Structures are given as C-alpha cells and as structure tokens.
A and B are shown apart, each in its own frame.
Chain A
Amino acid sequence: MYAVIFDIQRFSLHDGPGIRTTVFFKGCNLRCLWCHNPESQSPEPELMFYADKCTGCGKCRAFCEKAFTELCERCGKCASVCPCGAKEQSGRKEEVKEIVKTALRDIPFYKTSGGGVTLSGGEPLLQADACAEILRECKKNGVHTAVETAGNVPFSAFEKLLPHTDLFLFDLKGINPVLHKQNVGVSNSLILENAGRLSQTAKDVRFRMPYIPGYNSDEVFAVCEFVRALDKPLELMAYHDIGTGKYASLGREYSLKDVRVPSAREMENLARELGVMFNPAFV
C-alpha cells in the first residue's frame, strides 16, 4: 500500500505530547486562505521553484523540454537534476511499510518523553486506509498515536482510524457556515457533525482553532461555545505569515497579504479570557 506524503518530520514538539514524528500527508479538500503549507493541498507531487537559488545552468531544460515553458505541468521530476537546489519536488509516493519504518525509529525517544507518532497534512483522512495501516503498526509497537484533521470527510473514514488512534487533534475554523465557505471554500456542516460524533466515540479529542484576525476572529466565541458543549479542550493557534514564500515557489498568489500577526501576549490574554489554551504553534 502507498501513501502520498510531503514530509516526515522527526523531533516534532507541538503536534501532541512529547517528542513526536509527524507524517505530513499530501492532499486536502479545504482551501483555507491562510494555509501555510500550500504544497499540502494538491494530492499529486508537484514542483517548487526557488528563483533566488537558480543559476540558470539549463540542466532541467536538457532533462525536460517543457521546463520553464507554458507547457510545464509542475510535476517536479526535473528537480532530480537541479544542482543548486532551486527546484524541489514536493510530495512523494511512499510505501506504507517504509513510512512505518521511519516512524518507529525514534521509539527510544517516545519512551522517555511520552511522545509518539502524529499523522498530519494536508488531510490525512483522505488516505484513511494508509493512515489506519500506519497507526495499527504503531500501536502494535506500543507507540502513542495522534491524528490531526480538519474533519471534512465522511465519518466512515474516522471509523477506520478509531481503533488505533489515541488522540485526535481536530481543527475548527468557524461556526458560521457562510463565513466558513468564504474562508476555506467548503461548508462546515459535515465538519461540525463529525466533531460531535468523534467526541462521543474517540478515546481523546482536542480541538484547535486557527485565529486569523479579520477572517475568523469574530468566530472565536462561537467556537468556544461549541467545544464547551462537547466538553472537550480547545486551544487557539495564532496566524503567521510563515508560508508566504512557498506560494511564490509554487507559482501561486498569496491572497492574505495584509493580515496582522497577533503577538503571543495578545493570544495568551485572549485565551485566558476565554478559559481555553494557547498553542504557540503557527497555523
């Protein structure tokens, strides 16, 4: 079995408890305007090009005549010949077996830190079978498992993961369906329904809300209410413009140019006021 992923990050400290290895799945069915991992959206491997590193050596043109023309499909295959690191192929099809092997390498560190493996993305649940396989292998080896999700998938996908998942980190971007559609491109009815059902069935669920001033910031109270009703913890995560450069490398436009980055103190105060947590991770 294969999975399309774009990174495996070891020594990850903010995607669940302890020292973790996070597997980033490629492909997402949301299009959040503020997404800081735009390369995670398309389910196919794609080309990232950093113009400042390019020396114009022409090796990629020799490899593929479509390079740097309008015919280029951004498949990223030419990155293999780029000598200066200007071209990178984001995303790869990898055997689940191999992913598990990497994920299990840090077991000694999971043991001493109470950490484990986190599946993130993109939306990992779009590849639910691969996820379930990885999680099952992890559990078999006594490793703590977590899944980060935006929840916009049929609940049957969750059901495949439920027996092997210790913790779900569930993202909520807003309650108002109109605003939600504007911000992330889809309605939130399925997401909210899943949030409710998952809270009933999963071992442990924590909700997270990205706080984007001027876009969903007014929603924060409604989200609080919603999560409180489910009797689950909520953490806020602050907007950051860290992903700006990636849009350019993918040949895309970043539409959120003028959003203010809230300070950590501001976020801490807000979280305290609302009686929720603040996670200093970026969204």
Chain B
Amino acid sequence: MEMKHLEPFAWGYRHAEKKDVEYRIANGIYTFAEEFEIELNVKNKFVAPLGGMGRYAVNYARADGITLRREVKERNIRDYPELEEQINVYFDYFFPYETHRVISKYRTPEEEKLEINKCCWAAGGGHSNPDYEMLLRIGTNGIRNRIALFRNIHTDKGGFYDALERTLDALELLARRYREKAAEMLGSAEGEDKKTLARLVKAFENIPQNAPRDFFEACEMFWFCFAFIDVDSPGLFDYALGRYYENDDPADRWECLEGLWELFRETRTWNLCVGRSDEFGNDYTCALTYDVLKMAREKKYDTPNLTLRLHSGSPEKLWREAAETLSSGIGMPAIYNDECVCPALEAIGVPPSDAHLYCMNGCNQIDIFGKSHMGLEDGEISVAKALEFALSGGVCRFSDEKLGADTGDAASFKTFDELMAAYKKQIEFMADYIVRTSNKAQEIFAERAPNPWKSLIVQGCIEKGLDYKNRGPIYGHAQVLTEGLPDAADGLAAIKHYVFDEKKYSMAQLVDALDKDFEGYDELYRDFKGYHKFGNDLEDVDGVYAEITDHLYRYFQTKRTFRGGVFGVGCSTFHRAPNYGFHCGALPNGKKKGERLLADSIGATPGCDKNGPTALLCSVMKGNQYLATSGNVMQIKFSKSQFCTERGKEAFIALAKAYFTGGGQTLQVNVVSREELLDAVEHPENHQNLLVRVGGFSQYFVKLPQPLQENIIARTEVAL
C-alpha cells in the first residue's frame, strides 16, 4: 500500500508544494481521479465516484474546505500498521488547515457564550448551485475555451487558470477511467446490464467534453459532475435538463429520471427546483417539470427537497399537479412566488434576468442558479432573545450572564418607544457580531479553502480570474436566519397594551414577574399569555410584527459581505425553534422558562392562530416579504381528509394564489398524518391550529368532542 493510494488528495496536495493553495487543491483532486477505486454498479443506471472524497482521512468537502476525519485515520493505522508514521505525518500536516478550527480562534469568550446560549451564531458552511445548464450546454471543451480566453486577459492569473485546467483534467481522466471500466465489464455482461454498459461506454465517448446527445447522456453527465467531489443542490433542474427530456422516448426518459431519483435519495441530495418564469413573465414549464412532480409523489422519498416556482402566468395544470403531489403527504413541493422573490432580489441589485434564475440553496435559502456564492447560514439570530435582553438590560436568563448590549434598566422605561429602542439596539448588537464574524470567516475560507471545481462551474470566477470563495462569483450575498420573530411581536404587543396603554401593570412589575418566571404573578401571566397573538389578523400585534420585521431585515441589508454582496435575512427553522425556545427565559408572550415553544416559521407560534388559515395568511402578509432575500418560510397544516378532496385542493390553490397576490413568498404545506392527530389528542395545546374537515366546515381538531376525534383518526387511517 502506498500513501498515494491511501490518501490521494493529501498526496497530491503535498506534492505540489511550490504552487499556491488553489493549484495544490486541484492537484489533490487530480490524484484522487487517478487513484480512486472505481466500483461500477450497473443497477444504479448512472455512475459517478460516489462518496469519493469522503472516504479519506484528509478530505475536501463541499462547504468546509479541508476537513480531517480522525476515525478514518485510526482505521488506516489499524489496517496498515507499517504506514503508521507516514499516516500521522500526513494528518498532522493538515491540522492547521482545518478551516473551522481557524475561524473559532477569532471569537472572544463572550462571543462564544452568545453562541452557546443560542442568542445568535455566525459563520456556517455553504451550499452551492453550480451552473449545470451551462456545463451541459458547452461541455468541458467549452469551459477550456473560456479559460483560454480569459487567461489572455488576466495575464497575472496564470496560476489560477492552471489550477482550473488541472481540475478539468481530473474530471476528464476520471470519466475516461469509467469508460474503460464499463468497456471491460461489457464483455461478460448480459441482458439489461449489458444494455446499460453499452450505453455508458457510448456516452463517455462524448461526455463530459461535449454536450450530451440525448437525455440518458445528459443525466449521466449531470450526475457525474454533480457527484464528482460531493453532492449538493441540483438547482434549476428542468432548466438544465428539460431540453434533453423534451423529445426523448417517454418510457426511456421516465426510466432515466427514476434512476436519478433513486441516486438522489441514496446520496441525500439537497434542493431540487423546478418551474420558472423569465423577466417578461414568460412561463417555462416543460414535460420534465410535470414528471418531477409526479416522480416525487410516486416515490414519496424525503429527499431531494423539492421546490416549485410559480407565478401569475403558471399553467392551471401545474397548480393542480402541485396540489396532487402535496396531497400525497410528503410535504413537498415547497411553492415559491416568483413575483415576490424576484423583486426582492432586484432590490438588492440583482438584474431582473438573473433574479429570475433563482433557486433554493440547501433547504429554503434563495440563491441564484450558477452565478452566486450566497453561502448558507452565514448566521442566525434569536429575535426572542433580543426581547429578553431588552427587558433584562442584556442579561441572558438562561445562563444568568450579561451577554447582550447595555440598554439600561427596563423597569425605568416610561414609554413604549423606549422599550422598542432598547429591543432594536439588542438586535443591532447581535447583528453586528454576526456580520463581523461571518465576514472574517468568509475571508478565511477564501484564503484557506479555495474551490477550483466550483470556480469552473459558477459564472464569474473564470471571467474575473478569482476563486469561487474569493469574490469570484457574480453574486456574493449572505444569508442570515431568524428565530422567534412572531413570539417577540406577541410579547411587545402585550406590553404595549397592558403596561403603556391600559396601565394595568408597571414595567417594574413585569420585569419582576419575568425574573421570577411568573411565580406569584398569576393574573399577570394569564393576561399576557391570553393577549392577542400574531396570526389572527389583529391590527395591533400584526403592526408590531411588521415594524420589527422591517427593522431587522433592513438593518442587515445595510451590511456588506466580504464576498461582495449584502446580508439578506429570512426564516427557515429546520426544527431548531424548540431549542431556541428552551434557551430563552420567561417571555412577555407568556412563555415560561424551560418551555420550548417558539414559532416554527414566519407564521404564528404553534397553537396561537385560532381564526383559520385565511386570517393567518392575512397577518403574515402584513410583513414586508420583499425584503426577505434569504427565504421566508411559511408553514401551514391541513389534515389529510380535508386536503385530499377535490374541494380541498381547489381551496388550497385559491388560498395560495391569494397569498402570492398579496406579496407572500413561499408556502410549505403539511398534510397531516394520523400520528399527528393522535398526538393532538394527547397534547391538544400544541395542535390548536390543526384543521380537519368535519364535513360541513373546517374545524379545529382539538375543539371536537372526543368521539369525533376518534372518528376522524379512524377515517384518516383509511385515507392512508
């Protein structure tokens, strides 16, 4: 066993010592292409070096640059004791290169505590949406031409372009090795396998150098490049592959799509987006758009995370297909409104033609397909915590330490404006931390974790002669997520009503009650907990919500990123909300210390919306979503029995259309299953907003008499 074979990436990296980091990484990738042990599983239909890099102790990952895996190192030492010394030398060599370790050095102990106590955090990894449309259209030959062209323009960037070409060499080498392997296996293969192998051999004679000739070749080329280093988000799938799908044999293309779908599941592929309009309102729905929706509901896999883009010119049939897929209970597709997202992007400087190429990055963050490094999770901020800080003079009620800004003793606030000013100062304090740390991290990534592969397939890099991580892509906006906006709005509205308008309680009483977790303040607790909640179409609390949303989003947008964009804000909670809730003390919306409940999207805190989905959406529409360039998740739940009827689907479509017309950005629909209904019987307080179709009208499940609940559970079981 040789080190070159055991740790090819590390070997290649080390054997280009005189070159710069970019080239060394490219050389590591090249060595990987040389040494990777090809296993060709014909049953998969399409082939790629799956999990390639991930199997080494020193690996090069999608988001984080160089990362080390101790367990692989130890296994290698066990298997090859004679190489122990060398293995350790390699490992230790890369220790200082691990990006996240470097970033953490730049945080002060106080800032560490902000992160530990779930106030906010900064500097996560990154997803990407490379331009597979371009790659498929021009092939690696076309990319080489582009490099040649810009090499002559940026004459001082020779090293960078060398690295890019080295990476293309690696891709082509690996493709050649796959073709040889397939040709070798072809001799002894039979039946269906033989057919697939023959197709693969034929395909690899053409790709990846040239554009694919049919859908099979397009899939193979897409999949091979997609999984070359590490799988991520396919992005605008029907934009990249739709043209090859259009004229192929329907049975064969469906089978190809099915093959890809199985691979997507196996590799837990991130976000796949279909449907689109352009800046003139033309619709680009194609056969592949419909078939992706159909595939998703037939397979019922939880990945890829499916997104559907809609606009006012989307065909009715597409809306119906979307409702059909949602009714299968997979919670997908998430539907997005071009007429909200595109203006939002245009407002931060993206020209209309590019804004209409948006897709989802990872989970629900808005990215621009093939032209951007928007990162992902550049930071997250707990808005509920900012309110807690404003009421405690910056003291965290979870850790009892002063972590926030100094905004004075809340008990002495004389007006609501004073309180609001304190709250905003706390938000800005945490926002500044996020911006500072995230920008530092972006700089470190640029320095230590360049990405020659993404530089090839994300537009801007070749043209500028700059790496993907180092301001290369055309767009470099950042994404910050929020937690607990509705909860903070509820709390502020209740304080305004009871303390400043009605004057039933003083600020001192409220602060004391929160300090004591409402102990001995029964009436105050009942009043604050029972006060108007966001999500019921009530002017006062919705107004507060609109104001604090506007402030938060606009404040971040004034901040520039290292990558050359602005900080955008959005909300997608990944089920993290309960943990953020747990780390907050008592809040004026009636949340007690230790309770986990926090809103799980920009909608109401679970159980607080009691006037039905139209009222909920009316509330949400009062917030300005044209500022949310990072994705503004709005979750809405329906019961299976209500949704899965013609009438239910029609009502849903009408609901979504009205929401989109009113400036809504996205809807994520849960069609509720039996388990959830059972849980609603057990814990009704968490399911106040669960709608079920009780014949004549939509009724809240928890309000029904018990026998009828049982009845509906039984009915749902049948419906499943």
Q: Which residues of A contact B (CB under 8 A)?
A: 9-15, 18-19, 21-22, 83, 105-106, 108-109, 111-115, 237, 240, 242, 244-245, 280-283
Contact = CB atoms under 8 A, between A and B. Distances in A.
B647 A108 contact: no
B191 interface: no
25 contacts: A10-B612, A10-B614, A11-B614, A11-B691, A13-B651, A13-B693, A14-B695, A14-B696, A15-B696, A18-B651, A18-B654, A19-B614, A105-B537, A105-B614, A108-B618, A112-B654, A112-B658, A113-B651, A113-B654, A240-B695, A242-B708, A244-B705, A245-B705, A280-B696, A281-B695
B661 interface: yes
B615 A105 contact: yes
B65 to A, nearest CB: 47
Contact of B662 (A108, A240, A242): A108
Contacts of B658: 108-109, 111-113
A105 B618 contact: yes
Interface in B665-718: 691, 693-698, 704-705, 708
Interface in B510-554: 526, 537
The dominant DSSP class at the A interface is mixed
B206 interface: no
B662 to A, nearest CB: 5
Interface in B114-164: none
A104 to B, nearest CB: 11
A108 B22 CA distance: 54
B671 to A, nearest CB: 16
B650 interface: yes
Interface of B: 526, 537, 611-615, 617-618, 647-648, 650-651, 653-655, 657-658, 661-662, 691, 693-698, 704-705, 708
Nearest to A8: B611
A13 B705 contact: no
A159 B704 CA distance: 37
Contact of A14 (B611, B657, B697, B708): B697
A35 to B, nearest CB: 13
Given A13-B697, A15-B697, 6 more contacts: A12-B697, A13-B648, A14-B696, A19-B651, A108-B658, A109-B617
Given A11-B698, A13-B697, A83-B526, A242 B705 contact: yes
Contact of B654 (A14, A105, A115, A283): A115
A122 to B, nearest CB: 15
Contact of B655 (A19, A21, A244): A19
Contacts of B614: 10-11, 19, 21, 105-106, 109
A113 B695 CA distance: 19
Query: Which 3 A/B pairs are nearest by Cβ-Cβ distance?
Result: A113-B654, A281-B696, A11-B612
Contacts of A242: 694-695, 704-705, 708
A10 B615 contact: yes
Interface hub of B615, B617, B618, B695 (most chain A Cβ within 10 A): B695
B695 A112 contact: no
Contacts of B694: 242, 282
A11 B613 contact: yes
Contact of A22 (B613, B650, B691, B697): B697
Identify which of A11, A12, A114, A280 gathers the most chain B CB atoms within 10 Å of its CB.
A11
Nearest to B537: A105
A113 B526 contact: no
Contacts of A18: 651, 654
A243 to B, nearest CB: 9
Contact of B661 (A11, A21, A112): A112
Contacts of A10: 611-612, 614-615
A106 B650 contact: no
